[in-house]
Amino acid sequence: MRSSYYGDKPTLPSRIGFEAAGSIEAVGPGVDPALIGRQVSTMGGFSQGEFGVLGEEAIVPVSTVAEYPANLSPSQGASIWIAYLTAWGALIHYARVKTGDFVLISAASSGVGLAAIQIVKDAGAVAIAATRTSEKRQELLALGADYVIATKEEDLPARLREMSGGEGARVMFDSVGGPYVEKLAEAASPGATIFLYGGLSGQPTVYPLMAGLAKAINLRGYTTNEVRGKQSVLEEGQRYLRQRFQDGRFVPKIAKTFPLEQSADAYRFLESNTQVGKVVITA
């Protein structure tokens, strides 16, 4: 968003930020005043340019907030809905990941990636984390990944076939796109689905024709709007996640926190790609 690569293009002067947690201080016309005082966090689904939350106060549509479990800190509460609903929608609601499945998760050290690892493990499947170098290998393993593939150092298709006994991955959860999709297709099992939910590569993404046709691979675009767009699906996802946050199965990982006056440093740290988990700014 800040660099103008996001789908929601900023019109200056623009706000920024999707995720926040705090106490409701006031409500607009027609909104239930009983919400005042409740601790909530945002789920996205609004324009950052218009309703960006990076600040001491934020104004957001009431439909885009939800109470977070009381056992979580505000920093954790700010980190859950977008990351975990994104992973839940693709992996559980659509892919129905189950025991015995091999699931590849790219950009695995991100907030969404770590949420995906926890969700895959909870479903009884095998979580294979993909990250660019081996620098984060041990931490990803400690956070629940069954295997880690360093994509700049290892042959991803060969390593994944080795890990899966030659089977390949039935589900791939990818935020990179671009030429990387060709590698994913090579590593996929017949009939696999590649969920493409981002474009970190910055390069055009085309269907991996040869491997895709040979294996009948489904390359599927996906965003959390599919979850938020249907109230029954959103509520199902929230129930699933709340239970697991409350009983401790799911724990959001905070990489580092910064005070509001050091917001620029927080973005520099985020762009360094050295973090594992969420970067939080406290006001």
Asked, for residue 3, whether it belongs to a domain, the answer is no
pLDDT at 2: 84
pLDDT at 9: 82
Asked, for residue 131, whether it belongs to a domain, the answer is yes
Domain boundary among 225, 241, 268: 225
Average pLDDT over residues 228-234: 95
pLDDT at 153: 96
Q: Flag whether pLDDT at 4 surpasses 90.
A: no
Alpha-carbon distance 34 to 44, whole Å? 22
Asked, for residue 4, whether it belongs to a domain, the answer is no
| pLDDT tens, residue by residue, 249-273 | 999 999 999 999 999 999 999 999 8
Token duo for residue 47: 């324009």
Alpha-carbon distance 206 to 202, whole Å? 13
Q: Flag whether pLDDT at 7 surpasses 80.
A: no
Question: Within this chain, do residues 94 and 221 fall inside the same structural domain, yes or no?
Answer: yes
For the chain, the domain total comes to 2
Average pLDDT over residues 41-56: 94
Identity at 71, one-letter amino acid code: N
Question: Within this chain, do residues 74 and 202 fall inside the same structural domain, yes or no?
Answer: no
Asked, for residue 74, whether it belongs to a domain, the answer is yes
Q: What is the mean pLDDT of the chain?
A: 95
Q: Flag whether pLDDT at 213 surpasses 80.
A: yes
Enter the pTM of the model. Answer: 0.94
Asked, for residue 147, whether it belongs to a domain, the answer is yes
Average pLDDT over residues 73-77: 96
Token duo for residue 69: 């479990």
Residue-wise over 226-263: b if at least 16 C-beta within 10 A, else e?
bbbeeeebbebbbebbbebbeeeebbbbbbeebeeeeb
Question: Within this chain, do residues 104 and 187 fall inside the same structural domain, yes or no?
Answer: yes
Question: Within this chain, do residues 104 and 185 fall inside the same structural domain, yes or no?
Answer: yes
Percentage with pLDDT > 90 across the chain:
93
Question: Within this chain, do residues 232 and 270 fall inside the same structural domain, yes or no?
Answer: yes
Q: Flag whether pLDDT at 76 surpasses 90.
A: yes
Q: What CATH number does the domain containing 43 carry?
A: 3.90.180.10
pLDDT band at 186 (very low <50, low <70, confident <90, very high): very high
Average pLDDT over residues 182-190: 96
What counts of helices (H) and strands (E) characterise the chain?
11, 11
Question: Within this chain, do residues 50 and 99 fall inside the same structural domain, yes or no?
Answer: no
Nearest partner of 243 among 136, 122, 94, 139, judged by Cα:
122
Q: What CATH number does the domain containing 187 carry?
A: 3.40.50.720
User: Residue 101 sits in which domain range?
Assistant: 85-225
Asked, for residue 157, whether it belongs to a domain, the answer is yes
pLDDT at 10: 84
Residue-wise over 74-84: b if at least 16 C-beta within 10 A, else e?
bebbbbbbbbb
Average pLDDT over residues 59-85: 96
Domain boundary among 186, 207, 225: 225
Question: Within this chain, do residues 28 and 55 fall inside the same structural domain, yes or no?
Answer: yes
Question: Within this chain, do residues 93 and 190 fall inside the same structural domain, yes or no?
Answer: yes
Alpha-carbon distance 193 to 108, whole Å? 18
Question: Within this chain, do residues 179 and 266 fall inside the same structural domain, yes or no?
Answer: no
Question: Within this chain, do residues 179 and 108 fall inside the same structural domain, yes or no?
Answer: yes
Question: Within this chain, do residues 197 and 264 fall inside the same structural domain, yes or no?
Answer: no
Asked, for residue 13, whether it belongs to a domain, the answer is no
Q: Flag whether pLDDT at 5 surpasses 80.
A: no
Question: Within this chain, do residues 36 and 92 fall inside the same structural domain, yes or no?
Answer: no
Average pLDDT over residues 116-135: 97
Alpha-carbon distance 99 to 119, whole Å? 12
